[in-house]
Structure 1
Amino acid sequence: MPRPPLVLGTWGKISRTKRGATWVASARFRDFDGVTRKVERQGASGRQAEDALVEHLRDRTRMHGGELTGDSRVRDLAEQWASALEQRQLAESTLEAYRRSLRVHILPALGDVRIRECTVPLVDRFLAAVRATNGDAAAKRARVVLTGAMSLAVRHGAAPTNPVRETETVRAARQDILVVDMEDVPLMRKRVAEWDRGTDKGGRGRVTDLADIVDMFLATGARTGEVLALRWTDLDLGADLPTVTIRSTVVQITGQGLRRQERPKSDSSHRTLGLPSFAVAMLLRRRTESQGEWVFPSSTGTLRAPNNMRRQWRDFREHWDYPTWITPKTFRKAVATVLDREDGIDVAAAQLGHSSNAVTKKHYAAKAKVGPDVRTILDRFAEAVESGM
């Protein structure tokens, strides 16, 4: 009975022979065209020759995607998927979000699970646990990452199908869009300005400039990271139509720290916006006082961290006992809402940098809950009764 062929991408027993002063290690390797070939590597000793051969054969299987099998662990799959992901032109913030999902949620729970053990019920239970402990957003991102990783396993022949695609879709509960009413904004702006001029708990003068940042939010509808990434070269304040160009954002990268990402969240986020007069006046004042490249720098003149700015905002909010839903993002929603009501959802989407108005409509523009004025029409019911009497 003939000996069964080697599995594709595997090799047989390694033998060592000495040729003169050189050692040679060789093995039969079944290549990915189905042909079994003898492969050799040399070394100063038998061990060195064998190590060189094994390294070569592993590189050979890795080149052809044969390194992953059903017995490979999810952490090995994740490492290959993350490495391949870095070759794609994704924003650093997106890559960092995926890496964090792997590091914080996926690998601690599934890292030692073998690919063949990743069944629909197992992944469903994992996603449900992430959702229960960390919320809808974390579960949705974990599902996206796992879908991509298991797709790689399918392409490598390590899994017959992608089980993540069969799991229940993570749908966030629909929530009302809460925005600050335009009538309440003047008082809030006044309070923020007074806060900036006040003193902290130690009696020292505050170094915050929240009022100017809030005005920039209201003037543009831009994201926090987009506003804090602005350089003076991004502004054209002397033109007949003063503008700001949103072309970058601030991101926190593990192992690298805070940096300006030279592209915003998406292609549609790269946009040039006209500036209203109140923002122009504020920016001209800051320009005369500025000694650096950043429009809204940290207290030491460096690139400002969004988390620090949000912490300052929480201190202000708690002082005035504003509800917790009022965050910097709330002003972005307020811009979307007022533009939607005045000029339509397409204008609001373009201002916010959305690729379509679907996201703007679903998450940013609050809809008035007052029904249409149809009293005249409905009065006809009574008129019909009275005319029949």
Structure 2
Amino acid sequence: MGTPKKRQRGEGAISEYRTKAGPRFLIKFYVDGPDGSSKAVLKRGFRTRREAGAALRSEINKVDRGEWVQPSKQTLTDYLSEWLDGQRLAPSTISSYRKNVRLHIDRHLGRTPLDRLTALSIDVWMRKLEATGRADGKGGLSARTVKYVFTILRSALGDAVKHGHLAVNPTDRCSPPTNSQARPPEMQAWTAGELSRFLRWAEGRDPDMALAWRLLAYTGMRRGEALALRWRDVDLDAGRLAVRRSVGVVKRKGEGEKLVEGTTKTGQSRVVDLDAGTVAALRAYRAARGALSADLVRSTALVLGSLDGDHRHPERFSRRFLGQVRRAQKAVGEEQVPTIRLHDLRHTHATLLLAAGEPVKVVSERLGHANATITLTVYQHVHPGMGKQAADRFASLLDESPEDEPGPL
């Protein structure tokens, strides 16, 4: 048998060496650095020449395709920490990312070297989250939450490819929950009668909070936007207010939590017109606040601030709403005031306007959606009876049409 054919530089090389456990093989191949220089890479520990040859061909193919990256010992946890520090996102978004990384990624995949992640290991991780992923040990996470966490990981690994830490993004070949599986919980909204009933009850029990609930329901503002509203943003004479900012809770492990003001969800301001009744309610509310302290009605004061002039805590604000809904149910009956979340006042605003035939574009502008398509997507649902109204409206068009009207040419 002749001597093995000598490999060319671009083909790499295989060499045998001795160990106490017997012969082993190493492979050697070359990669070009960013500065154009060539660097030799060695990998050891292969038990057979065949195994070494297969590994060598795989590495050279990666080099040829531009997919080879320098091996790194950096763990996923360390990379994600560095990645999060470099993101330009709203503080509340970064806080949410950190929490989900800590609870759902670091605990399961964090010790894995970044370049050892595979599509299979990520799929196994997602199935584990769905089965037993809750941090309190009480079952699995919803498909919606799993998809959200997967999206964070996918974005981070996409940046790892862009910055040269990975050759390919393993999440490209994964199977996260589908959009259908991860759809949000069914949207709840009050009818006009249910909203009116609740507000009348609240006005008789807690006028200040009744004003807050009315403001949210009659404008469609998000919780954080309403809690960041200042008197300089409200023009009672013109009957409008400007939504310019939002406040949210930012939590970081070991640092507690704080309330931080930022832009609105879309990053854009908007003007929302007010009805006469809400203007009158705001005037009465401002007069009552001013009687307590002039500081509470200065132009820079928060409209829905605490008596100390501080932001109300968004989460406690939501819990207070739920508490009042429960008390209203005891007073007038649960069927008269069904249970909804605070955010559902925004859904109620949109749903009632759309049901009344208000143009989607107008509703979209009041809600502060980036475009009307979002409004149409979110509010595909309708109150019972709207479909029947549409059917009757279509039939009436034909009933009113002259029988001898000429058809299309």
Q: In 1, are the aligned partners of 2:130 and 2:143 still within 8 Å (CA)?
A: yes
Alpha-carbon distance in structure 1 between the residues aligned to 2:171 and 2:193: 47
Looking at structure 1, the residues matched to 219 and 190 of structure 2 have their Cα atoms a distance apart, in angstroms, of: 16
State the AA in 1 paired with 2:168: T
Deviation at 1:223, TM superposition (A): 0.5
Q: Could you say which residue in structure 2 is the equivalent of 1:187?
A: 197
How is 1:256-295 mapped onto 2 (pairs within 5 angstroms)?
A: 257-268=257-268, 270-288=269-287, 289-290=289-290, 291-292=295-296, 293-295=301-303
Q: Which residue of 1 aligns with 2:359?
A: 344
Deviations 1:34-60 (A, max 9, x none): 4599xxxxxxxxxxxxxxxxxxxxxxx
Secondary structure of the structure 2 residue equivalent to 1:113: coil
Superposition CA RMSD, Å: 3.2
Q: In the aligned structure 1, how far is the partner of 2:70 from the partner of 2:363?
A: 47
Cα gap change, 1:244 to 1:375, in 2 (>3 Å): closer
Q: Do structure 1's residue 160 and structure 2's residue 175 form an aligned pair?
A: no
Pick the aligned partner of 1:150 from 154, 157, 165. Answer: 157
Match of 2:125 in 1: 126
CA contact (8 A) 2:69 2:167 kept: no
TM-score when normalising by structure 1: 0.70
Instruction: Look up the SS of the partner of 2:206 in the other structure.
Output: helix
CA distance in 1, matches of 2:70, 2:223: 41
Query: What is the aligned partner in structure 1 of residue 216 from structure 2?
Result: 217
How far residue 329 of structure 1 moved from its aligned partner, in angstroms, is: 1.2
| Rounded Cα–Cα distance in structure 2 between residues aligned with 1:277 and 1:259 | 32
Which residue does 2:105 correspond to in 1?
Answer: 106
Equivalent position amino acid for 2:309 in 1: G
Aligned residue for 1:272, secondary structure, equals: strand
Report the Cα distance in structure 2 between the residues aligned to 1:237 and 1:316, rounded to whole angstroms.
Answer: 28
- Distance in 2 (CA, whole Å) between partners of 1:84 and 1:67 is 22
Change beyond 3 A, Cα 1:79–1:351: same
Contact kept in structure 2, 1:221 and 1:335, CA below 8 Å:
yes
- Give the percent of matched residue pairs that are identical in Structure 1 and Structure 2: 24
How far apart, in 1, do the equivalents of 2:305 and 2:101 lie? 32
How far 1:67 sits from its partner (Å)? 11
Matching residue within 323, 327, 332 for 2:346? 332
The answer on whether the counterparts of 1:68 and 1:153 sit within 8 Å (CA) in structure 2 is no
Aligned counterparts, 1:20-169, within 5 A: 32-35=34-37, 69-85=71-87, 88=88, 90-132=89-131, 133-169=140-176
SS at match of 2:35: coil
Q: 1:184 to 1:333 in 2, by over 3 A?
A: same
Flag the 1:226–1:298 CA change in 2: closer, same or farther, 3 A. same
The structure-2 alpha-carbon separation of the partners of 1:166 and 1:344, relative to structure 1 and needing over 3 Å to count, comes to: farther
The residue aligned with 2:134 is none
Instruction: For 1:234 and 1:247, locate their aligned partners in 2 and report how far apart those are by CA, in whole Å.
Output: 8
Give the unaligned 5+ runs of structure 1: 5-29, 38-65, 198-208, 380-389
Q: Which amino acid aligns with 1:320?
A: A
Distance of aligned partners of 1:271 and 1:34 in 2 relative to their CA distance in 1, 3 Å threshold: same
For residue 356 of structure 1, what is the amino acid of its counterpart?
N
Contact 2:322 2:342 in 1 (8 A): no
| Contact 2:69–2:166 (Cα < 8 Å) also in 1 | no
Shift of 1:95: 1.8
Q: Normalising to structure 2: TM-score of the pair?
A: 0.67
**CA distance in structure 1 between the partners assigned to 2:103 and 2:313 by the alignment:** 22
* Uncovered stretches (5+) of structure 2, i.e. residues with no partner: 1-5, 10-31, 40-67, 132-139, 400-409
- 1:50 corresponding residue in structure 2: none
Q: What SS does the aligned partner of 2:343 have? A: helix
1:91-126 alpha-carbon deviations (Å, 9 max, x no partner): 222222222221222112211012233211221232
Deviation at 1:193, TM superposition (A): 1.9
Matching residue of 2:372: 357
Distance 2:192 2:229 in 1: 26
User: Which residue does 2:187 correspond to in 1?
Assistant: 177
- Counterpart of 1:343 in 2: which secondary structure? coil
The SS at the match of 1:326 is coil
The secondary structure found in structure 2 opposite 1:253 is strand
1-structure distance, mates of 2:130, 2:283: 46
* Letter of the 1:249 counterpart: S
Alignment check: 8 A CA contact 2:198 2:325 kept: no
- Give the drift of 1:225: 0.8
- The AA in structure 2 aligned to 1:83 is D
Q: Distance in 1 between matches of 2:242 and 2:71?
A: 48
Question: Against the structure 1 CA distance between its residues 324 and 93, is the aligned structure 2 distance closer, same or farther, given a 3 Å change threshold?
Answer: farther
SS at match of 1:259: strand
